[in-house]
Structure 1
Amino acid sequence: MVCAHINPITLKEQSVKEHLYNVSKMSMEYGAKISLEATGKLIGILHDMGKGTKRFDSYIRYSCKHPKDKSLKGTINHSTAGAKFIYDNFYNTTDQYQKFTAQIISLAICSHHGGLIDCLDLKGMDKFTDRMNTDKDILYEEALNYFKEECFEIAQIKELFNKAMEEIKVMFIKINKIDSTAKFGRFAAGMLEKYLFSCVIDADRYDTYTFMEGKEQNSNIDRSGLWNELSDLLEIKLKGYPKKTKIDLLREEVSLSCKNFAVNSPGIYQLSVPTGGGKTLSSLRYALAHAKKFKKDRIFYIIPFTTIIDQNAKEIKDILGHEDMILEHHSNLIIDYSKDNDDDLEVYKLLTERWDSPIILTTMVQFLDTLFSGGTQGARRIHNLANSVIIFDEIQAIPIKCINMFNSAMNFLSNICNATIILCTATQPLLEKTEMPIKLSENPNIISDVHEKFEQFKRVNLVDKMVVGGYSANSLKNFILDKMDHVKSLLVILNTKNSAKGVFNELLQANQELPKEKQYIIFHLSTNMCPSHRMKILRNMRMKLGHERVICISTQLIEAGVNISFGCVLRSLAGLDNIAQAAGRCNRHGENEDYSEVYIVNIEGENVSKLVDIKAGQQCTERVLRDFKENPDMFDKDLLSQKAMERYYKYYFHERRNQMNYTLSKENSDKSMYDILSGNNEAANEFNSRNGYKSKLMLKQAFKTAGNEFQVIDQNTTGIIVPYGEGEELITLINGDCSLGQLKQYLKRSQQFSVNLFEQDKRKLEEMGAFIGLKNNTVIALRKEFYGDDVGVTFDNSPMEFCNF
């Protein structure tokens, strides 16, 4: 028997044949979700053909006996043989469908350890053909002979390939119906490659994980029964909600509209609900009813900020129970080395989150990374987006550079993968009017009378209080204290941590000089705090609000989705969408029968030069403010009206229309990521110039280059576990002796005790010796002295003196 894996505890052996059968079965199931059953099966059958050699068998056995010796790691290329077999037998043809089918299968197989390779790199070098023509170190003939003798007959492979080719033909007819332009067609072909790559990656890793753990693969959950049960639980809960105030009744109308709309066919829809309109539970009501009717596999909540995950997950779990069925995915806690490393997998890589829970709450960063980042960590999740309900909460927060790729990906997921997409926000961006528009379904609005609903929900007045030169920390402190004479609570949202610190210090000093009856409690919220920590602060804040004088200083993390209400809000100048979201934290439940005040202020010396989105938003908001002063009737005399928001997005999208294809960095700033993930036209021209003829590749995408370049935000973040509360115990447990199954559970629990660090902050803490490497440095933990109850992750011995009562 030629061995694929050896269980290090039981020493049980898994043959290459058994592994190939298991992976092909799962890959077939995943492919079948989008009618690519034969294609998925064939990729699974061939993915590890290269393991069928005596040399690989010896390597596996030696590694099992000498687990600390890594000298042979990566010396055997076993991921190319199966790809080369398809290429040699099916690629060289004039039949375009056969050629494409051969390339898409070969590419998925040869990339399944290090991530999708470039077909053409940016210099026009044909990396795909080079990989297929390599004979170095793959022992191809020996692997092929073993495969033919022990695993599958070549006639079976040929029959399966012909079926795969027919599936691909049908797929391109579907793609052409979505959008007949060549630009979208090539992008969709790239998405198809990513989907199939996801099928084999996840099947390969999951089979390896279950074998190494000695576990049976998870049996399928009765989704139909689950959706029925959860839907009933939610309906019972909603019946018990008060329906006394005007806001209560309006929220009930929104919720009922969502439930009734769920009978509509899968598609792409908009849920436009004013802030405080109860869209979290309303969209959940829609999702459960829709999943029940159309037999959906999963429900995803994609959320811009981790703070919203904290709150929404708690709210959903409190109502539905079934915590084991609900995943919160804030951070990648397993470091993904596969972008740079084509070696065989470390066992801990098998534990990367695969999104197989029925309900998943995650961030826009994690979602976009799954679709577009390199390596294999995120890619394995893509197939689980098929046949799901995907709810985007606060869709306006999508990074401008990702808009066209996002729109095209949503069109693919909806029309090819049968996903239902819901775009939720109080401030709908004009995604359907971009160069590569999102294809909304016919009659896309779940709430039909949007303008009327916004008027009914009106609870605040937005007032421009900006001054020439901006407010200093001292003058803003005076402004805040003046407003505190009229209200009991006030929220200040600023664009930078430095501005927040300056205003806080002024308020702290002033508070000591106030008469006791005028003193207040001050709270601080920061992204440097883990979810569990932030939730504790929010709970404490809610207990004080309405009973004591409260001021909260925060950056924008509080302005969307956090269910909390203040008597007054100050928002530093930003995009009108940000300001509208901030306004949703004021008089949220209509506690004040009159309109409460939300003030726009500008800050002296506030440096937003690196906050490109905020800076551009500021400029467009100022244009709307000028228009409003000239003709308030044009906006129904309300700066938060739908007409004002539509004007803002018209300015904002026009101003940034050339940034929506994701411009590459540095020396490649003349190229866009959308292009290199579709036609890769400039690379194709480079190839033509060098060789004197056009590249015959069907897929020309520079997948690896794009994946390595892709960053949702301007710099990458790394998830670390922090020693707050239970986090301290989890760090100890992870670092101790535990099985893979136990480690998987510890990592899932650690999501509540994780912080995402920007690269510059990570480097600074590394230099200070702040980290502990766990499990061969595949997981990072923070030392206790670098986490404080006041600010969370701290970089020095004198953390900012915030008081969180």
Structure 2
Amino acid sequence: MLDGLKSHPDRLLVDHLIGTSKRAQEKAQRIDWQTFGIEKGRALKLVHLCCLSHDFAKASRDFQDYINAPSQGVHVSHAPLSALVTYHVLRKNGFDVKHSAFGYFIVRHHHGEFSDFGFIQENREKIERQFFSIPSDFKKWFENSVSISLDFSIESLLNEIEKQIDSLCFFTDFSFKDYLLLQTLSSILISSDREDAALKDLTITISKKLTIEMLEKYISQLPSGGLINEMRKKFNDHIKQNLRHVDSNILSITAPTGIGKTLANLRVALSMTDENTLIVYALPFINIIDQTLDTIYRVLSGVEFDSTTVLPYHHLADPSYEDPLYEQQSIQNILIEGWHSQIVVTTFVSLFESLFTNKKVPFFHKLLNSVIVLDEVQSIPHKYWKPLAELFEEMAKFNCKIVLSTATQPMIVEKTKELVTDKFELNRTKLHFHREISFSDFKRVAEEEAKKSLDKNEKLLIVLNTIRESKEVYEALRTSISKEKLCYLSSNVIPKHRFERTRRIKQTKSAMVCVSTQVVEAGVDVSFDKVIRDEAPFDSILQVAGRCNRNYTSSLGDVHVYKVIEDERKRSFSSYIYDTLLLDITREILNQGQIEERNFPDLSKKYFTNIKKRANIDKENLSQLVKSLSFEKIGSSFHLIDKKYSTASLFIEYDKRAMKLREELNQTLKDSKMEKFEKIARVAKLLRQMAMYTIEVPILREKLEGALIVENGLLVVPHDNLRYWYNDEIGFQRSEEVMMF
């Protein structure tokens, strides 16, 4: 009978349980269990027993009927009974109530999101029927494998577990360490479970081809001469020297924009890795990920590599794999979602919403053996500083190193090892703060400055706070300036066009005017002769100032900041986007009128000190939610990007490539013969590719459903209707002509 029991259509149940355990054991070997307060041998046994038990109930008659004839059988959840058995097995093997309860909890949720930690009421009669339908030979095999007898009644076991877990929750003060332990155990189980189902006995090989020697070679070939290049060389040597005296797992790199922090971050990461270390390079915005990837690819120049060396991980990424063993989409999906790579380049959203979550995170266990680089760390909202600091400090007790890199260091973690101990002073820009100005007058100022810049053959950047504001300024300039001399950037434009336009800005040496929202701010390696910006918090102002005279090609570039007021409502545009307290603090510290770059560090310190004193740095009470293992509340409370209004996702069928992707998605979803995991992976890949043509627009989805095609959960602007909905220059435009409301 054992040979007939299946866990998946093409995998025997016993083989799956053993295979899952084997993969999990390999992962568990790399974890520092002593820091969790568990002896390593006991931790390995805990993981082993959870893996052997996690699909116990798949041996039941109902599940086997379903797996052998999915179209006829009724799917019955196997997690409840398997979780009860896990708890029994762990207790009988000498594990305490807490660790047994953790085992119960991760098995109970290995096919769904975490609930708040605790006992879950079940349909007792259904579980009892399931238990009694388990074949005797499977029970015997299982009892021999876990070294205990299944000598219990379901009713008494349920009562015992409920009583003990309720008591545990009432009397125990959980901690960040408990949160990490639960997430780590869950990650090891679900990643091993998925890998065995998709890969069977295939071994994943990571290509660790990025080395410190390659980085040294690349840096040695960079241009020399000139003030900025000499400063970059000095900065690189300084970081290299200070890495010899590292005595902390939380490091900081605080230095001016454009001085070479990306290369410094890579040096630090590569200097602190071993064969089991994952490098995670996280940035706040997708538009600067490509820039960082381009730097890494140049370092790897001349070496053949794929996404097992460098994995871009965000919704616009389309990773590639060269090994024929990985050609199946289902296998590639495992590699991507499990972060099977030497270095993962991702967004703050992807990283932090995997740290504070009630979802399953297959790579979570890897983070305890990682170097996490947080580039442009000032972008983290202050309302999450406290919980992030606590989590970083707890993770640093393991083999996790965290690097906080920025030109304007916020005070997230109190004690860090600063790697920049010399003063690297650049004085490339001067900030000019102007009084309030009406939007009508501001548009006239923008037109005048644009004409001046073009006459002088200079590049001008104008940064606005809202899409409406940016579109109106662009359209005002468009009346007197040809589109060849203009560029528009905002989230209103499909990502494909944003990337193309950013490349154009970087490559253009002649005069031009770029009108943009905040998408151009942090980290984008572009340089303008002059910048005009609508009012913003101080850190955002400094970031956009970093786009002015970035390469020190002139003595002092000018950045003009205005408080732009709506003509009708008499309200500042900045108030729609930014926290009032941040704007108030900015106004208080920037009352001198003019400030040069050499004064930025002192003012930055003053700004962040004020935030820490006056702002709520745990606004969502996340620290307490973590300590109480309130996973559902964590999942609903932590949103790195705080949307102030409802949005709808639109797929813009802009060109033949977009039309082909839409057609392929429809064909894949209709293909009834495609294997389940292959279809899931294929759909995921197509959606990633379609994201290059997808935008979020500030409008209720319901208002568009009557005017646009709703297809596979997507709102689609078909190619034939582009003229009504999408403008080549400014992107999405709401067409009153085809909307009947």
TM-score by length of 1: 0.75
Equivalent in 420, 427, 432 of residue 447 of structure 1: 420
Equivalent residue for 1:705?
A: 633
Structure 2: how far apart are the matches of 1:190 and 1:3? Answer: 35
**Larger displacement relative to structure 2 (297-306 or 324-333):** 324-333
Equivalent residue for 1:564?
A: 526
Equivalences for residues 223-234 of structure 1 within 5 A: 223=208, 226-228=209-211, 231-234=212-215
Q: Structure 1 pair 765/604, CA: closer, same or farther in 2 (3 Å)?
A: same
Structure 1: how far apart are the matches of 2:695 and 2:518? Answer: 16
Equivalent residue for 2:696?
A: 757
**How far is the alpha carbon of 1:135 from its aligned partner?**
5.6
Once the two structures are superposed, residues 220-242 of structure 1 have per-residue CA deviations (whole angstroms, 9 ceiling, x without a partner) of 3353xx243xx333322222111
Equivalences for residues 783-798 of structure 1 within 5 A: 783-784=718-719, 785=722, 789-792=728-731, 795-796=734-735
| Aligned AA (1:621) | T
Equivalent residue for 1:190?
A: 179
Once the two structures are superposed, residues 52-101 of structure 1 have per-residue CA deviations (whole angstroms, 9 ceiling, x without a partner) of 112110111111xx3xx7x824xx120122321243465699x9x71111
Q: Residue 403 of structure 2 aligns to a residue in which SS?
A: strand
**How far is the alpha carbon of 1:760 from its aligned partner?**
4.5
Equivalent residue for 2:237?
A: 256
Q: Residue 432 of structure 2 aligns to a residue in which SS?
A: strand
**How far is the alpha carbon of 1:771 from its aligned partner?**
4.7
Equivalent residue for 2:110?
A: 112
CA contact (8 A) 2:647 2:699 kept: no
Equivalences for residues 621-636 of structure 1 within 5 A: 621-626=586-591, 628=592
**How far is the alpha carbon of 1:113 from its aligned partner?**
0.9
Equivalent in 515, 527, 532 of residue 553 of structure 1: 515
- Matching of residue 503 in structure 1 with residue 473 in structure 2: yes
CA contact (8 A) 1:494 1:556 kept: yes
CA contact (8 A) 1:733 1:746 kept: no
Structure 1: how far apart are the matches of 2:588 and 2:343? Answer: 41
Equivalent residue for 1:50?
A: 57
Q: Percent identity?
A: 24
Equivalent residue for 2:394?
A: 412
Structure 1: how far apart are the matches of 2:197 and 2:383? Answer: 37
Structure 2: how far apart are the matches of 1:711 and 1:617? Answer: 19
Equivalent residue for 1:271?
A: 253
TM-score by length of 2: 0.81
Q: Structure 1 pair 571/610, CA: closer, same or farther in 2 (3 Å)?
A: closer
Q: Residue 113 of structure 1 aligns to a residue in which SS?
A: coil
**How far is the alpha carbon of 1:497 from its aligned partner?**
0.8
Equivalent residue for 2:577?
A: 611
Once the two structures are superposed, residues 263-314 of structure 1 have per-residue CA deviations (whole angstroms, 9 ceiling, x without a partner) of 54671100112011121122123322332xx335322111111111122223
Q: Structure 1 pair 91/296, CA: closer, same or farther in 2 (3 Å)?
A: closer
Structure 1: how far apart are the matches of 2:690 and 2:394? Answer: 30
Structure 2: how far apart are the matches of 1:767 and 1:217? Answer: 48
CA contact (8 A) 1:393 1:424 kept: yes
Q: Structure 1 pair 373/494, CA: closer, same or farther in 2 (3 Å)?
A: same
CA contact (8 A) 2:313 2:336 kept: no
| Aligned AA (1:353) | E
- Matching of residue 601 in structure 1 with residue 601 in structure 2: no
| Aligned AA (2:79) | S
- Matching of residue 208 in structure 1 with residue 178 in structure 2: no
Equivalences for residues 70-469 of structure 1 within 5 A: 72-73=74-75, 76-88=76-88, 98-119=96-117, 127-128=118-119, 130-131=121-122, 136=127, 139-143=130-134, 147-153=138-144, 156=147, 186-211=175-200, 216-221=201-206, 223=208, 226-228=209-211, 231-263=212-244, 264=246, 267-291=249-273, 294-321=274-301, 322-324=305-307, 325-331=309-315, 353-376=337-360, 379-416=361-398, 418-433=399-414, 440=416, 444-449=417-422, 452-453=423-424, 455=425, 457-467=426-436
Equivalent in 541, 550, 557 of residue 505 of structure 2: 541
**Larger displacement relative to structure 2 (495-504 or 317-326):** 317-326
**How far is the alpha carbon of 1:139 from its aligned partner?**
1.5
**How far is the alpha carbon of 1:323 from its aligned partner?**
3.8
Equivalent residue for 2:625?
A: 676
- Which consecutive unaligned segments of at least 5 residues does structure 1 have? 8-12, 120-126, 159-181, 335-345, 434-438, 513-518, 664-671, 680-700, 800-805
Structure 1: how far apart are the matches of 2:428 and 2:607? Answer: 21
| Aligned AA (2:238) | S
Structure 2: how far apart are the matches of 1:4 and 1:404? Answer: 47
Structure 1: how far apart are the matches of 2:338 and 2:470? Answer: 38
Structure 1: how far apart are the matches of 2:390 and 2:129? Answer: 38
**How far is the alpha carbon of 1:192 from its aligned partner?**
1.6
Equivalent residue for 1:583?
A: 545
Q: Residue 432 of structure 1 aligns to a residue in which SS?
A: coil
Structure 1: how far apart are the matches of 2:549 and 2:715? Answer: 41
Once the two structures are superposed, residues 457-494 of structure 1 have per-residue CA deviations (whole angstroms, 9 ceiling, x without a partner) of 22111111233667644333245247525561110111
CA contact (8 A) 1:771 1:782 kept: no
User: How many residues are paired up?
Assistant: 667
Equivalent in 467, 484, 492 of residue 462 of structure 2: 492
Q: Structure 1 pair 320/374, CA: closer, same or farther in 2 (3 Å)?
A: same
CA contact (8 A) 1:53 1:146 kept: no
Structure 2: how far apart are the matches of 1:24 and 1:551? Answer: 59
Equivalent in 12, 27, 31 of residue 30 of structure 1: 27
Structure 1: how far apart are the matches of 2:345 and 2:635? Answer: 23
Equivalent residue for 1:337?
A: none
| Aligned AA (1:652) | I
| Aligned AA (2:445) | L
**How far is the alpha carbon of 1:447 from its aligned partner?**
1.3
Q: Structure 1 pair 469/505, CA: closer, same or farther in 2 (3 Å)?
A: closer
**How far is the alpha carbon of 1:29 from its aligned partner?**
2.3
Structure 2: how far apart are the matches of 1:286 and 1:677? Answer: 30
Structure 2: how far apart are the matches of 1:72 and 1:349? Answer: 27
Structure 1: how far apart are the matches of 2:583 and 2:434? Answer: 14
Q: Residue 553 of structure 1 aligns to a residue in which SS?
A: strand
Structure 1: how far apart are the matches of 2:444 and 2:203? Answer: 61
| Aligned AA (1:106) | Y
| Aligned AA (2:625) | I
Structure 2: how far apart are the matches of 1:575 and 1:201? Answer: 42
Structure 2: how far apart are the matches of 1:780 and 1:209? Answer: 32
Q: Structure 1 pair 732/745, CA: closer, same or farther in 2 (3 Å)?
A: same
Structure 1: how far apart are the matches of 2:648 and 2:100? Answer: 37
Structure 2: how far apart are the matches of 1:702 and 1:577? Answer: 33
**How far is the alpha carbon of 1:104 from its aligned partner?**
1.0
Q: Residue 232 of structure 1 aligns to a residue in which SS?
A: helix
Q: Structure 1 pair 333/490, CA: closer, same or farther in 2 (3 Å)?
A: closer
Structure 2: how far apart are the matches of 1:196 and 1:780? Answer: 38
CA contact (8 A) 2:316 2:689 kept: no
Equivalent residue for 2:166?
A: none
Q: Residue 288 of structure 2 aligns to a residue in which SS?
A: helix
- Which consecutive unaligned segments of at least 5 residues does structure 2 have? 34-42, 150-171, 319-329, 567-571, 669-673
| Aligned AA (1:677) | V
Structure 1: how far apart are the matches of 2:106 and 2:135? Answer: 18
Q: Structure 1 pair 360/520, CA: closer, same or farther in 2 (3 Å)?
A: same
**How far is the alpha carbon of 1:107 from its aligned partner?**
0.6
| Aligned AA (1:408) | E
- Matching of residue 661 in structure 1 with residue 618 in structure 2: yes
